[in-house]
Amino acid sequence: MCGIVGYVGGRGATSLLIEGLKRLEYRGYDSAGIAMNNGNGLETRKAKGKISMLEAAVNGNPIHGTVGIAHTRWATHGAPNECNAHPHIDCTKTIAVVHNGIIENYSALRTVLKEKGHVFVSETDTEVLAHLIEENFETTLEDAVMDALNLVEGTFGIAVVSSRDKDKIVAARKGSPLLIGVGDGEYFVASDVAAILAQTREVVYLDDGEVAVITREGYQVSDLGARPVRKGVSRIEWDLDQIEKGGFDHFMMKEIFEQPNSITNAMRGRIVVEDGYSKLGGMNITRDELEKIDNIIITACGTSWHSGLIGELMIEENARIPVETEYASEFRYRNPIVTPNSLCVVISQSGETADTLAAMREAKRRGARTLGLVNVVGSTIAREDDGGVYLHAGPEIGVASTKAFTSQVIGLALLMLKFARRRDMSVARGREIAMAMEALPAQVQQILDRAKEMEMIAEKFKDAQNFLYLGRGYNFPVALEGALKLKEISYIHAEGYPAAEMKHGPIALIDENMPVVFIAPHDSVFDKVASNIQEVKARGGKVICVTSREEPALKGLIDYEFRIPETVDMLYPILTVVPLQLLAYYIATKRGLDVDQPRNLAKSVTVE
C-alpha cells in the first residue's frame, strides 16, 4: 500500500528520498510527494501519477535540505490528485505529515478543528493529523504528535517534520508497518526495508503504539505515554540485487521463474525424507501441546486464502484434524468457535496485512495458539505470533503474488507432515510425500522451460472478455487463483469454480466466445473433470486444459493443452498453478498493461 521514506543526516535528502520512493513503486500508488526542512522553512512538492512526475516537478522547481519525508499514496479518502497527495500541511505551513493507514474518526475531528478555525484543503483523512498536531504544538514536535495521536482512532504509520522544531523526524505506528534505518551519522524512516536497503542494512522495527524521535545524533523510542522503550537492531540479510529485475522485463516474470529456487528454499533443512516427516523448529510448540490441538483455523486474504484452502484439504485428508479456512476480514467480525486447543494459522506474504493481523489478534484474545506463515522477517505477524514458519521466498515485488503462493503451499505441506506423522500417517506414506516434494523444483523448471507454449495460447485469447476456470479437489483453489491472477493484471473478468458446480449456473455463460480453463491432472478426480470438459465442449466452449499425460478420454475435447509432470495429488497445485501464472502474464503483456503495478491494487494491504 502507501509508502513512507524519511531522512535525517548530512547529505542532501532530495535524491535519497526520490530513490527510496522508487524502491516502493511496487507497492501500488497513484500520487507522490516530498516535504523538506530547508533551514528557512518547510517546502513541499507533489504530483499525481508516477514518481517520475514528482521527479520532474522537483527538477523544475528544486527543493533542498538534509531533513525530509516523502510518500507514495494509494487513494482511500479522496480522489487521486495533487491536492490529496501527501505530505499534508497545517494552516501555518510549518508542519508536514505523511501517513499510511486510515483515521476512522477523522470526520468528527475535522468538524471540531473547523470550529476552531482550521482550514482544510483536501478530502483526505490524513490532513486532520497535520491540524491536530498544530493545535497541540506547545513545546516539542514529539509532544504535539503524541497528544494528537491520543485523540485518534484508526491505524497509522506516520512521519512528521516541522520548521518549528528543526532537524528531527517524529515517527509513530499503530497497525501500519514502520522502521528506522540506522546509518553512520544519518538515519532513515521507511514503511518497507526495500526503500532504504541501498543505504543501510541495520534497522529497528517499531511496534504498535510506539513513537520515535530521530535526529542526526540518534533515535529515541517511547510509547504514546512518553515512557521510554528499549529496542534492538536487526540486520537485513537479503541483497539489493534480489529486488532488481535481473534481465527480465517485469518483476512478475522474474518471480515466476524464481519458483524452483523459492520452493527449494522453503523446504531447505525441513524435510527428513527417510522418515517422512518435517522439522519446523520455529513453531515454538512442545510435543504435548501439538497433540492437544484438535482443530485448526486458517485465516488469510486473497492469494494467501487460496493457499489456505489447499492446506485445509491436505491437513484434513492426511492428519485427520478438522480445518476451517476463513477470510481474515470476515473472521474478526463474527463469533467464531475458538478454544485453547485451537491452532490459528495466519498466512500473509508481507506479514503486515491488516485484516490478517487483526484476525490473529482476535484468535489470541480467544485463547487460541497462533502460527504465522509469512515471507518477511521482522514483520508484525512474525513478531506477534506464538510461532511461525518463514517462507524464505525472497522479496516479492510484483503486486500479483506468484512465488509466495507456491511457497505457502509448501509451508502448509510441511505443517501437514508435522501433524500427520504424529498421528496416523505411515512412514511409507510420509516418505512418498517427502520424496515428491523434493522433486518439485525440477518439475517446476520443466514447466518454465516450455513457457513459450503458454505464450502461444495467450496470443489466441488476449482479446477475450471473460474466462472461466474450473477444477476439482486440490485444484479447485488453483482455479480460484488462476482466475484471480488474470483479473489482477489483465483486467479481464474471470471466475473460478468447482468444475461440477458449473452445471448449477455458470454453464449458462458458455458459448463459442467463452474460454474455459480446466485444471485436470491425472489425480483421483480426473474422470469426473473429464466429464465436465465434455459438458463444456458440447456447448461450444473453447477448452484450455492443464493436464499431466496423454489421455484418450480427452481426444477431440481440448482446443489447447499444456502438459505438466506428475506428482502426488496434494502437490499438484504447485505444478498446475505455474502455467496459469504464465497465461495471465502473457495475456496482460500482450494487452500492453503494467503487470507489476496493476491499477487500483497494492502489494501490502495495511488498511481494512
Residue-wise DSSP of 122-191? SS-STHHHHHHHHHH-SS-HHHHHHHHHTT--B-EEEEEEETTS-S-EEEEEEBS--EEEE-SS-EEEES
What does the pLDDT read at residue 570?
A: 96
Q: Is the pLDDT of residue 596 over 80?
A: yes
- The sign of the dihedral angle between the CA atoms of 55, 59, 61, 64 is positive
Q: Is the pLDDT of residue 376 over 90?
A: no
Which among 143, 194, 185, 189 is positioned nearest to 169, based on CA atoms?
Answer: 189
Residue 285: other Cβ atoms inside 10 A: 18
> Is domain 451-590 classified as CATH 2.40.50.140?
no
What does the pLDDT read at residue 1?
A: 58
478 and 576 Cβ atoms separated by less than 8 Å? yes
Which CATH superfamily hosts domain 245-448? Glucose-6-phosphate isomerase like protein; domain 1 (3.40.50.10490)
What does the pLDDT read at residue 176?
A: 84
96 and 161 Cβ atoms separated by less than 8 Å? yes
Q: Would you list the domain boundaries of the chain? A: 3-236, 245-448, 451-590
Of residues 591 and 244, more confidence is placed in 591
The Cα 488–Cα 506 span in angstroms is 21
What does the pLDDT read at residue 177?
A: 86
∠ at Cα 103 (33, 190), nearest 5°? 45
* Segment 71-90 mean pLDDT: 87
Which among 544, 529, 474 is positioned nearest to 499, based on CA atoms?
Answer: 529
User: For the ranges 76-85, 87-96, 340-349, which has the lowest average pLDDT?
Assistant: 76-85
User: Active site includes 603?
Assistant: yes
Beta bridge partners of 498: 471
Instruction: Tell me the per-residue pLDDT of 174-225, one tens digit each, with 9 for 90 and over.
Output: 888 899 999 999 999 999 888 998 899 999 999 989 999 999 999 999 999 9
The Cα 265–Cα 441 span in angstroms is 10
Q: Give me the chain's average pLDDT, please.
A: 91
Of residues 260 and 398, more confidence is placed in 260
What distance, in Å, lies between the first and last C-alpha atoms of the chain? 11
What does the pLDDT read at residue 448?
A: 96
The pLDDT-based confidence of 28 (bands split at 50, 70, 90) is low
Q: Spell out the CATH class of 3-236.
A: alpha beta
* Segment 473-501 mean pLDDT: 94
What distances in angstroms separate CA 321 from CA 179, 297, 472, 518, 524, one per listed residue? 39, 10, 21, 30, 21
Tell me which of 168, 254, 542, 603 is the catalytic residue.
Answer: 603
What does the pLDDT read at residue 267?
A: 93
What percent of the chain is predicted at pLDDT more than 90? 67
Cell digits of residue 169: 523526524
**Helical (H) or strand (E) element with 606:** none
Beta bridge partners of 98: 159
Q: Is the pLDDT of residue 486 over 90?
A: yes
Tell me which of 2, 301, 344, 545 is the catalytic residue.
Answer: 2
Asked whether this chain's domains 3-236 and 451-590 adopt the same fold, the reply is: no
User: For the ranges 1-10, 86-95, 230-239, 431-440, which has the lowest average pLDDT?
Assistant: 230-239
The Cα 574–Cα 481 span in angstroms is 11
What does the pLDDT read at residue 510?
A: 82
Backbone angles phi, psi at 44, to 5 degrees: -130, 150
The pLDDT-based confidence of 242 (bands split at 50, 70, 90) is low
Instruction: Tell me the per-residue pLDDT of 304-341, one tens digit each, with 9 for 90 and over.
Output: 999 999 999 999 999 999 999 999 999 878 888 889 99
The pLDDT-based confidence of 424 (bands split at 50, 70, 90) is confident
User: For the ranges 261-265, 437-441, 556-560, which has the lowest average pLDDT?
Assistant: 556-560
Tell me the residue length of the chain.
608
Instruction: Tell me the per-residue pLDDT of 390-414, one tens digit each, with 9 for 90 and over.
Output: 998 888 888 889 999 999 999 999 9
The pLDDT-based confidence of 553 (bands split at 50, 70, 90) is confident
* Segment 67-76 mean pLDDT: 88
Of residues 539 and 222, more confidence is placed in 222
What does the pLDDT read at residue 239?
A: 65
188 and 180 Cβ atoms separated by less than 8 Å? yes
Q: Amino acid identity, residue 450?
A: R
Instruction: Tell me the per-residue pLDDT of 516-534, one tens digit each, with 9 for 90 and over.
Output: 999 999 988 888 888 888 8
Instruction: Tell me the per-residue pLDDT of 103-133, one tens digit each, with 9 for 90 and over.
Output: 989 999 999 999 999 999 999 999 999 999 9
What does the pLDDT read at residue 245?
A: 74
The Cα 438–Cα 428 span in angstroms is 15
Backbone angles phi, psi at 178, to 5 degrees: -155, 145
The pLDDT-based confidence of 512 (bands split at 50, 70, 90) is confident
What does the pLDDT read at residue 444?
A: 97
The Cα 89–Cα 430 span in angstroms is 61
148 and 98 Cβ atoms separated by less than 8 Å? no
What percent of the chain is predicted at pLDDT more than 70? 97
348 and 380 Cβ atoms separated by less than 8 Å? no
Q: Amino acid identity, residue 534?
A: Q
Backbone angles phi, psi at 406, to 5 degrees: -65, -35
* Segment 556-575 mean pLDDT: 94
Question: Which 8-state DSSP code applies to residue 367?
Answer: T
Do β-strands 95-100 and 156-162 pair in parallel, antiparallel, or remain unpaired? Answer: antiparallel
What does the pLDDT read at residue 97?
A: 97
CA atoms within 13 A on the CB side of 447: 31
Q: Is the pLDDT of residue 606 over 60?
A: no
Sheet holding 369-374, edge to edge: 323-327, 295-300, 342-348, 369-374, 387-390
What distances in angstroms separate CA 513 from CA 113, 468, 516, one per listed residue? 57, 11, 10
The Cα 503–Cα 550 span in angstroms is 26
What does the pLDDT read at residue 217?
A: 94
